[in-house]
């Protein structure tokens, strides 16, 4: 039976684990081929196998998305393997939580390069290959921290707010090509990024008390949203983000 994303090729940065893995599994179920991008070969391969079990063609690409030449090698590898790219999910991200006066410049730049500059590098590399199909989707993993914030999040919030600005501007450049640019802004999801918060019973309870629905997000819920954004039905959604936060930002 035909599936909604048959014939599509999706490039997912940070595709080895967490939310990237969940989006890979969801798009594989819809028939998309996948190019999974990250630095840890074992985790990438494990996720690739799980996505292949859904029937998808999956290739993995070892890449540091903060490195211009590494991104260029990935672009050449993906286009060599698949011949095209239709969906780009800029999901790789890190968080360093500490007061501003404790940040080193190196830490600040690591967060900025991973969460923001990487998106510039990936979009610059892949947008030319995404044009001309009459369809395209760029999903940027923004955050509730694109809208609100917390102490210790100066670097993270700065990058995620800027990424929402990039999302808006790029949507204007690509709208006439049929390529939408959409942010997904998650609230707290139970992934490795949040392990330090979840392992501390006090911060875990504090977080849950701030989420009106009373639980951490489930990664499958991000997969389902990405699947919808990639569908034809979502072609009129662009230049904005979608909050998926259990009501966090509505308070």
The residue ranges that bind ligand NDP (CB under 6 A) are 13-14, 16-20, 38-40, 43, 63-66, 91-94, 114, 141, 143, 186, 188-189, 191-194
Cβ proximity to ligand NDP: between 141 and 164 the closer is: 141
Minimum distance from residue 63 beta carbon to ligand NDP (Å): 6
Instruction: Give the whole-angstrom CA distance, residue 159 versus residue 163.
Output: 6
The string of DSSP letters for 167-208 reads HHHHHHHHGGGTEEEEEEEE--B-SGGGHHHHHSHHHHHHHH
Cβ proximity to ligand NDP: between 94 and 162 the closer is: 94
Minimum distance from residue 228 beta carbon to ligand NDP (Å): 17
Minimum distance from residue 33 beta carbon to ligand NDP (Å): 19
CB atoms within 10 A of CB 127: 19
Cβ proximity to ligand NDP: between 4 and 190 the closer is: 190
Helices 154-174 and 118-130, packing angle to 10 deg: 20
CB of 44 within 8 A of CB of 96?
no
> Which pair of structure tokens corresponds to residue 212?
């009106």
> Which residues are catalytically annotated?
156
Residues 6+ apart with CB under 8 A from 119: 90, 140, 163, 166
Name the 3-class secondary structure at 38: strand
Cβ proximity to ligand NDP: between 4 and 62 the closer is: 62
Minimum distance from residue 11 beta carbon to ligand NDP (Å): 12
């Amino acid at each position: 039976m035909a599936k909604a994303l048959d014939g599509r090729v999706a490039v997912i940065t940070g595709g080895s684990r967490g939310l990237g893995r969940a989006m890979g599994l969801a798009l594989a179920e819809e028939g998309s081929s996948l190019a999974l991008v990250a630095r840890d070969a074992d985790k990438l391969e494990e996720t690739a196998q799980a996505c292949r079990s859904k029937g998808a063609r999956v290739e993995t690409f070892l890449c540091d998305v903060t490195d211009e030449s590494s991104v260029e090698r990935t672009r050449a590898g993906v286009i060599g393997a698949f011949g095209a790219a239709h969906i780009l999910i800029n999901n790789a991200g890190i968080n360093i939580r500490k007061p501003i006066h404790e940040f080193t410049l190196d830490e600040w730049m690591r967060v900025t390069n991973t969460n923001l500059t990487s998106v510039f590098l990936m979009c610059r590399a892949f947008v030319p290959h995404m044009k001309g199909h009459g369809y395209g989707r760029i999903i940027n993993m923004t955050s509730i921290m694109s809208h609100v914030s917390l102490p210790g999040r100066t670097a993270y919030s700065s990058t995620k707010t800027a990424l929402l600005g990039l999302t808006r501007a790029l949507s204007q450049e690509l709208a006439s090509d049929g390529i939408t640019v959409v942010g997904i802004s998650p609230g707290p999801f139970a992934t490795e990024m949040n392990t330090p918060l979840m392992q501390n019973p006090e911060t875990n309870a504090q977080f849950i008390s701030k989420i009106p629905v009373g639980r951490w997000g489930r990664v499958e819920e991000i997969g389902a949203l990405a699947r919808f954004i990639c569908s034809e039905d979502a072609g009129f959604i662009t230049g904005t983000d979608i909050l998926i936060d259990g009501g966090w930002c509505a308070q």
